[in-house]
């Protein structure tokens, strides 16, 4: 009740402030994006969503099945994460849209007071490709868990996302792997994405408190990307994402496409680059004008025993045997609770001695703290006008 009441109050406040200021488009009643400062193409903005207001650029941890693996929501909150991801395909399967609706939506279900963004299920077209069949109608998935099939259409995806209740919902797009050499398929996917966005918009029944973001496709082809952007902008949505990247394509091509596409998106709306989470990529793409990022990398690598830090290679593998007698702090720059409490020796002992679960929790906590600190560092650089120094320092390490 408390969460529900607070949410209603927040939405009402959003509507009130929208009406009084008159400075925001009427088609984004549930989102307010105000750029506070810029440095080159990079910008710090205040993003107001129904559950929580925060600053961008932001990194969003992924809690696929309604949990950030190994952490309670109060721990995620204490790390400082303002927004997390949930996945429509997985949650649509278990517990299912109707159960989710009956239990009051994902915020209530997992007891998370801040913001949630749900991915449409589009990425599963790539990650679960061998289980997927894509047609104009939608995607038919065969579940790897129990063999059952699910037809995910734009309408179905949006309906599920309406039931889940996230603050930002993603359109169902036709996603192809960025390493695919088939230009015809990439072009087909780009056009279909545009046709599907209209179906998503029609199906969306909660425009007043859920923000539908469109996703730009087009592979590594600037022409296709430009075409896609110009069509999507016509739909005048609260925000836009760049999809279809971070799938293993070459880094220089990746950066080129982001550099090309990001400025084409409206400056007064959030720009979300999907699936990007390596520190280097985050730094580069913030400089290119991106506001929002998500990735499983920090949490996944934690469970495999790697702590992220500003060292060559980006992290420390705690399995290394020389750490057995290293009683030093995990990350000398980090002030998170894990770094304040445990030595490298102890953490190493957990990796090799059967304490993987406990270690996974601790490193997840640290890695997310690292991500938050990284973003904060970039925000400070923009606000204080010394982003170039910040970036230079980062790359030195």
Catalytic site positions: 119, 294
Task: List, as own/partner pairs, every contact residues 301-304 make where C-beta atoms lie below 8 angstroms and the sequence separation is at least 24, other chains included.
Answer: 301/367, 302/360, 302/363, 302/364, 302/366, 302/367, 303/69, 303/70, 303/356, 303/360, 303/363, 303/364
Q: How far is CA 279 from the centre of its chain?
A: 14
**38 binds another protein, rule: CB under 8 A:** no
User: Does the footprint of another protein cover residue 5 (CB under 8 A)?
Assistant: no
Among residues 80, 314, 355, 377, which is the contact residue for another protein, using CB under 8 A?
Answer: 355
127 touches another protein by CB under 8 A: no
Contact between residue 206 and residue 162 where contact means Cβ atoms under 8 Å apart: yes
C-alpha distances (whole Å) from 330 to each of 42, 112, 321, 351 are 31, 29, 15, 14
Report how far apart, in Å, the C-alpha atoms of 26 and of each of 17, 76, 237 are.
12, 33, 10
Q: Looking at 299, 361, 371, 379, which residue binds another protein (CB under 8 A)?
A: 361
Contact track, another protein, 87-116, x by CB under 8 A: ---x---xx---x--xxx----xxx-----
* Shortest reach from residue 95's CB to another protein, in Å: 5
Contact range with another protein by CB under 8 A, out of 244-252, 254-262, 340-348, 375-383: 340-348
Which 3 state secondary structure label does DSSP give 68? coil
User: How far apart (Å, rounded) are the C-alpha atoms in residues 31 and 47?
Assistant: 7
Structural contact between residues 9 and 50, judged by C-beta atoms closer than 8 angstroms? no
> Distance between CA atoms of 243 and 100, rounded to whole angstroms?
27
147 is an interface residue for another protein by CB under 8 A: no
- In the region spanning residues 61 to 80, those forming contacts with another protein, defined by CB under 8 A, are 65-67, 69-75, 78
The answer to whether residue 352 forms part of the interface with another protein (CB under 8 A) is yes
- Tell me the window of 173-181, 211-219, 262-270, 336-344 that interacts with another protein (CB under 8 A): 336-344
Residue 221 binding another protein, by CB under 8 A: no
Distances (CA, A) of 90 to 65, 79, 128, 288, 372: 6, 25, 12, 32, 26
Among 38-46, 130-138, 224-232, 339-347, the segment contacting another protein (CB under 8 A): 339-347
Taking the least distance from each CB to another protein, the nearer of 126 and 350 is 350
Count of chain residues binding another protein (CB under 8 A): 43
Q: Which residues bind another protein (CB under 8 A)?
A: 65-67, 69-75, 78, 90, 94-95, 99, 102-104, 109-111, 324-325, 327, 337-338, 341-343, 345-346, 349-350, 352-355, 357-362
């Amino acid at each position: 009740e408390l969460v529900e009441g607070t949410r209603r109050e927040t939405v009402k406040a959003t509507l009130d402030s929208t009406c009084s200021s008159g400075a925001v488009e009427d088609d984004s009643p549930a989102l307010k994006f105000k750029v506070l400062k810029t440095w080159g193409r990079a910008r710090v903005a205040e993003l107001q969503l129904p559950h929580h207001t925060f600053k961008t650029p932001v990194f969003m941890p992924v809690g696929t099945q309604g949990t950030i693996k190994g952490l309670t929501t109060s721990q995620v909150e204490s790390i400082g994460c303002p927004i997390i991801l949930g996945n429509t395909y997985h949650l649509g399967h278990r517990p299912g849209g109707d159960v989710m609706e009956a239990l009051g939506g994902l915020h209530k279900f997992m007891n998370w007071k801040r913001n949630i963004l749900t991915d449409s299920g589009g990425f599963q077209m790539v990650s679960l490709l061998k289980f997927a069949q894509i047609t104009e109608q939608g995607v038919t998935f065969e579940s790897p868990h129990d063999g059952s099939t699910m037809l995910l259409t734009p309408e179905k995806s949006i309906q599920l996302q309406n039931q889940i209740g996230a603050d930002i919902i993603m359109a169902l797009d036709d996603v192809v792997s960025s390493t695919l050499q088939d230009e015809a398929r990439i072009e087909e996917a780009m056009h279909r994405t545009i046709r599907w966005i209209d179906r998503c918009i029609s199906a969306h029944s909660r425009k007043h408190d859920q923000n539908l973001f469109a996703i730009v496709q087009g592979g590594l082809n600037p022409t296709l990307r430009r075409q896609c952007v110009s069509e999507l902008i016509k739909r005048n949505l609260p925000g836009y994402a760049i999809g279809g990247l971070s799938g293993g394509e070459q880094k220089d091509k990746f950066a080129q496409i982001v550099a090309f596409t990001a400025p084409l998106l409206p400056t007064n709306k959030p720009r979300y680059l999907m699936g990007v989470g390596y520190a280097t990529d985050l730094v580069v793409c913030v400089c290119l004008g991106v506001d929002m990022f998500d990735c499983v990398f920090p949490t996944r690598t934690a469970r495999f025993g790697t702590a992220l830090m500003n060292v060559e290679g980006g992290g420390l593998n705690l399995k290394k045997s020389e750490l057995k007698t290293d009683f030093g702090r995990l990350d000398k720059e980090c002030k998170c609770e894990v770094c304040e409490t445990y030595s490298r020796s102890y953490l190493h002992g957990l990796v090799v001695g059967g304490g993987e679960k406990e270690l996974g929790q601790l490193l997840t906590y640290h890695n997310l703290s690292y991500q938050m600190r990284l973003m904060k560092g970039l925000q400070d650089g923009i606000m204080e006008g010394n982003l170039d120094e910040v970036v230079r320092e980062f790359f030195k390490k």
